Chain A
C-alpha cells in the first residue's frame, strides 16, 4: 500500500459518508497516540528531564557526572563484558545451528521442531531461567552434585553461577535460540548454485566461504550479533533473580539506586543510568536495522 494517491481514492469511493461522521481522520489515531504518549513518551521524557535536574527541579549535570564513579564504571564494564561474550557465544553457536538446520530438509519435522523450540526458548528468561540454572549448576544442582561425586568441585573457587562467567552461560540460553531465529532467513537465502558456480570455477570450500558466502553473510551476522548484544545488555530479571545482594551489572545498579529502602535512593542518578542504557541500546538497534536492510537487499 503506497501512501501516494490513497486520499484521492478514498474521497472518490466515499464522497460524503466517512467525512461527515468523523470530520477529522486524525481523530481515529488519537486514542493510540494519547496512550503511547502517556505510557511510553512521557516516561521517556521523565527520565530525560530527571537526568538533568536535581530533586528540587533546578538544572544540573551532576547526575550525568555521577555515572563517573568506580562502582558504576565497573558495572558498565561488567555489563559490556557479559553482553559481548554472550552475544558472541550466542552468535557463533546460533549461526552453526542455523547452518545445520538450513542444510537439512526445508519441510522436515526436525527443522520445525528446532525453530519452534527456539521461539519458546528465545523468550525464556527471567526468574524461571534463573531457577533452571540453579537446579543445574547451583550449589546443590544436578550437574554440581554429579561432578562432585566424580571428584570435580566447580564450587572450589566460589560460586560460578552468581558471577560474570555464570551470567554469560545463563544468557547464552536465550541468545542461541534468538540467533537461530534472526539469522536463519539469511542462511536460507544462500543458493546452492553459488557453491556450484564456485566449484565450476575451480574454487575450494575455503574459497567459497572466504569470497562468496562469508562476505554475503557478514552484514547479517554482524547485525544479529548487535541485536544479541542489545538483548543481553537490557536483561534485568535473570540477573535480579540470581544475584540478590549488590549489583554487578548496570540494570541491577539502576534497581538499587531506584529502590534503596534505607533512604539512600538516588532517583536522579538512576534516571541518568536509565538514559545511558536507552541511548546505548538505541544506537545498537539502529545499527542492527541498517545492517538488516543491507541483507534484505540480496535476500529477495
Chain B
C-alpha cells in the first residue's frame, strides 16, 4: 500500500469514527445531562430524578413484572425449543427446515401487526383463565424465537450431539439424562446466550404490552414521561446501561465458544454454518 493511500485511509477512518461516535454519544450524554438537571436553569445539579425511580410505586411494580416476564419467557423458551431442536437433529431431520422456518417467521411479522391477531386470543385467555400481566410471556416466547433459535442452533452445531447422545444411550442413559447431563452441560454458553437475548428482548418490549393494556417496564416509562421527563429519561438511561452490561456479558462469554465453533468448523460431523454470535441479534422486534 502506498504511503499517500495509507494516510488517506487513516484520515477516512478517523473522520468516520469521530462523526459516527459523536452521533451515538451525544444522545447518551444528553440523557445524563437532562436527568441531573435542577428545577430551574440556575439551580444546581441534582440526582433527584434518579432517586425518584425507586420511589415511584408503579415503576417498581412494572420493573418487577418485566423481570418476571423475562425469567418466565427464558425458561419457557428453553423448555419448548431445546428439546425440539435436539429431537429434530436426532430423530426427525426432515422437519429441520420447517422448524427453522417457523422460528425465523416472527422476523417477518411486525409486532404491531401480530398484536392485532393475538388480541382475540388474549381476550379469551383473560376471560377464561387469568388476566395477570404474566400471560404476556405467551407471545413474548414467540418474538424471542428467532434470536433463541440462532443462538441454540450455533451451540448445537458446535457439538456432535449425535455421537454424544448415542454414546450416552448405549451406556443406558434415558432421554432425560441425555438432555440434562450430556447435552445441556456441553452447550452452556449457547443456553446463556439464548437466555440473555430473550431477557434483552422482553425488557425492551413495548408494543404488545401497550396494545393489550398491560403495564410492563416500557409502558411504565412512557407513563412516567407524561409527568416527569427527568425521571423517565433517568430510567431510560438506566435500562440502556443495563442492556449494555447484559450484552457485554454475552459477548464476554460468547467469545471462547465462538472460537471453538470456528476451530471445529471443518471437522466431519459438525455443521459449518456456525453463525457468529452477534449475528444472533440481527433483526429487531420492538422499535
Contact A278 B109 (CB under 8 A): yes
On chain A, the residues within 8 Å of B248 by CB distance are 116, 120
Contact with A along B113-124 (1 / 0, CB 8 A): 111111111000
Distance in angstroms between the alpha carbons of A157 and B14 in the assembled complex: 34
Interface pick from B50-58, B65-73, B183-191, B235-243 = B235-243
Contact with B along A247-264 (1 / 0, CB 8 A): 000010011001100000
Distance in angstroms between the alpha carbons of A136 and B116 in the assembled complex: 33
B221 within 8 A of A: yes
B139 within 8 A of A: yes
Could you say which of B99, B105, B206, B236 contacts A40, with CB atoms under 8 Å apart?
B105
Within 8 A of B (CB), among A25-39: 25-26, 28-29, 31-33, 35-36, 38-39
Chief secondary structure at chain A's binding surface: helix
Contact A132 B279 (CB under 8 A): no
B111 vs chain A, min Cβ distance (A): 6
B162 within 8 A of A: yes
Distance in angstroms between the alpha carbons of A285 and B102 in the assembled complex: 14
Q: Nearest CB to that of B271 among chain A residues?
A: A1
Q: How large is the interface on B (under 10, 10 to 19, 20 to 34, 35 or more residues)?
A: 35 or more
On chain A, the residues within 8 Å of B88 by CB distance are 28-29
A90 vs chain B, min Cβ distance (A): 11
A245 within 8 A of B: no
Distance in angstroms between the alpha carbons of A133 and B31 in the assembled complex: 8
Within 8 A of B (CB), among A109-159: 112, 115-129, 131-136, 138, 140-143
On chain B, the residues within 8 Å of A181 by CB distance are 278-279, 281-282
Contact B112 A251 (CB under 8 A): yes
On chain B, the residues within 8 Å of A281 by CB distance are 108-110
Contact A126 B287 (CB under 8 A): yes
Interface pick from A65-73, A210-218, A231-239 = A231-239
On chain B, the residues within 8 Å of A128 by CB distance are 204, 218, 221, 235-236, 239-240
On chain A, the residues within 8 Å of B206 by CB distance are 126-127, 236-237, 240-241
Q: Nearest CB to that of B201 among chain A residues?
A: A123
Q: Nearest CB to that of A250 among chain B residues?
A: B112
Contact B31 A3 (CB under 8 A): no
On chain B, the residues within 8 Å of A50 by CB distance are 116
Contact B121 A259 (CB under 8 A): no
Contact B200 A123 (CB under 8 A): yes
Could you say which of B81, B102, B113, B201 contacts A274, with CB atoms under 8 Å apart?
B113
Within 8 A of A (CB), among B87-139: 87-96, 99, 102, 105-121, 138-139
Decide yes or no: A47 and B116 within 8 Å by CB, A120-B247, A237-B207 being known contacts: yes
Contact B218 A122 (CB under 8 A): no
On chain A, the residues within 8 Å of B243 by CB distance are 120, 123-124
Q: Nearest CB to that of A241 among chain B residues?
A: B222
Contact A131 B31 (CB under 8 A): yes
Distance in angstroms between the alpha carbons of A21 and B283 in the assembled complex: 40
Q: Nearest CB to that of A284 among chain B residues?
A: B108
Most chain A Cβ neighbours within 10 Å, of B27, B84, B141, B225: B27
Distance in angstroms between the alpha carbons of A216 and B88 in the assembled complex: 36
Contact A125 B113 (CB under 8 A): no
24 A-B contacts (beta carbon < 8 Å): A18-B169, A25-B91, A25-B92, A39-B121, A40-B114, A45-B117, A47-B113, A47-B117, A93-B19, A100-B16, A119-B278, A123-B200, A126-B218, A128-B221, A131-B232, A132-B28, A132-B233, A132-B240, A143-B26, A181-B278, A240-B207, A259-B211, A278-B108, A286-B108
* Given pairs A93-B20, A121-B24, A235-B287, 6 additional interface contacts (CB within 8 A): A96-B20, A116-B278, A176-B20, A254-B113, A258-B211, A281-B109
